[in-house]
Structure 1
Amino acid sequence: MIQPGSTVRFARMPEWVAQLPEESRRVFEFCLGRTYRIEEIDRHGLCVLDVSPDIDKRFGGFMNDLRLEAVFLEEVA
């Protein structure tokens, strides 16, 4: 069961990512297939993945995260 603290793989790209600005799409594309820890489930039921170690230096920003529905994630044993 996916919950805060679970390690997951970003397994499937959401269709709505295609509507994002190019730089945001590049971040999602870079993270696809990688594993992350779920930091929390936000008030909208989205899984918050801390992607900052992979993203901050490469794309800029600070403390970047992705917020995804659980259907796009696979739990890693």
Structure 2
Amino acid sequence: MFAISPAEVLILLVIWVVPAVVLFFLIYWAVRLAIRHERRRDPSLHERVTAERAAQRREWAQREARRNAAAPDEL
């Protein structure tokens, strides 16, 4: 049948396995770098405005609650 010599095994490793391992680690490194970059990313203008509006709404609701608690019942 087929007898694979050590030289053929070495050639197969060099041709297929080494590039596959290198490609795997390149993709792994790129994904890790992208995740780290996303974590450090500054919020966009839309995210900042949305957060500021939410803070203003909370502040307004607290102010209204204090005013309603301090005002006498009109009934």
Output the TM-score relative to the length of structure 2.
Answer: 0.20
Output the TM-score relative to the length of structure 1.
Answer: 0.20
Q: Which has the larger radius of gyration?
A: 2
Higher-strand-fraction structure: 1
Higher normalized contact order (CA 8 Å, seq sep 6+, divided by chain length): 1
Higher-helix-fraction structure: 2
